[in-house]
Structure 1
Amino acid sequence: MNLDAIWNEYRASLKAFLHSNVANPDDVDDLLQEILIKTYHNLGDVKETNKVKPWLFQVANNTIIDFYRNRAKGKELTQDELWYTEGDVTVHQQLSQCVLPFIQALPEDEAEMLTAIDIHGQSQKEYAEKNGIKYTTLKSRVQKSRDKMNMLFRECCELSLDKHGNIVDFQAKNKRCKNC
C-alpha cells in the first residue's frame, strides 16, 4: 500500500471528520498532521486494502479522544465538550451516551473511581495517592470495574471488535435497555 496514494484519497474526508469534531481550525491541522505520522508508522499493520478507510478513521477518532483527554487534564469536562454530534456519527460517538449511565450503574465507589480516571483523566497513580490506596490495588480495582462496565455494555449491545480489541460496530440487543 502506497502512503501517498492513500493520503491523497482520504485526506479531505479525514479533515472534514476532524472539523466536525474539533472547533479550532488550527487544532484540526495539528491533528491531521498527527494522523499522518501515525499512518506512516502503522500502515503496515493493515493487511487488507478494503480495511484502510475504517482503520484511518479509527486512528482519527482515537487521536481526537487523546486530544480532548490531554486538554482536559485538570479541568472538568461536560459530555458536550467530549463528543460532537455534527456530521457523520461514529460508533464511539453513538456509544458515548451510554458511558456515563453505565458508570453510574456501578457501585458508588467504582463509579466515582472510573469517573475520575476515565472521564476526568486523573492518573491512576494520583487517584491512588489521593484516596490512600496502594497503586497496585487500585489498578486491579480499575480493571475489575471496567470489566463490570463492559459486561453492562454487552448485556445491551452486541459489540464487533477489530484485531486490537477496538469497537468497530455494535447492534443493540434490546431496544428497552435502560442505560443507553
Structure 2
Amino acid sequence: MSAARSYDCVLRAWNAHEAELRAHLAWRLGDAAAADDLLQDVFVKAMRAGRDFCVLDNPRAWLYQVARNALVDHVRRTRPHEPLPDDLPWEPPEPPPAVDALADCVARVLEQLPPADADILRRCDLEGQTQADYARAHGLSVPGAKSRLQRARARLRERLTQTCGVRLDDQGVCCHAPARAAA
C-alpha cells in the first residue's frame, strides 16, 4: 500500500468521526479551544499510524481511545497543584517497637553464637545464599551444610527463647516480649 493510499484511509475515517470527537472532547473539557488542540494531537497520531490504521477493525474505537488517552494526559498536566511548603515538618513513621526489639535481639544473639553458626545463619537465612552454594564455598557436602544449618537454627531458637522472651509455635514466632530483652 502506498503512503498516499494509507493517508486516504486515515482521512476517510477522520472525516467520518471528527465532528463527534470534537463534540465529545469539548463536552468533557468544557473548553472548545482545548478540545481542538487535543483533536489535532489525535489526528497527528492517526496520520503517524498510517498503514497500521488502515487495517484496524474499528477505526472509530481507535480514535476514541487515543482521544481518551490525550484527555487524561491533558487533565493530569493542567490539574492545579499546590506546592508544599519548604518548612513542612517531616517525621519518619515510627516502626513497631516489638519488631525493632526483636531485630535487635536477633543481632545480639547472633553475636553470642559460635562463629560457624552465626556465619551459616547470616549467609543462608539472612542473605539468601543457597545451602548448595554455602556447601561449595566452605568445602562441605550439601547434606553437611543442611545439618549445620539445622543445628545453628536450633541453637538460635534456644537463645532467642532464653534471651529475648520469644515464644515459638509450629509456624514460627508466636509472641515476643521486648521488655525481657534486656535479661
Q: TM-score band (shorter)?
A: 0.3 to 0.5
Max Rg structure: 2
TM-score w.r.t. length of structure 1: 0.44
TM-score w.r.t. length of structure 2: 0.43
Higher relative contact order (CA 8 A, sep 6+): 1
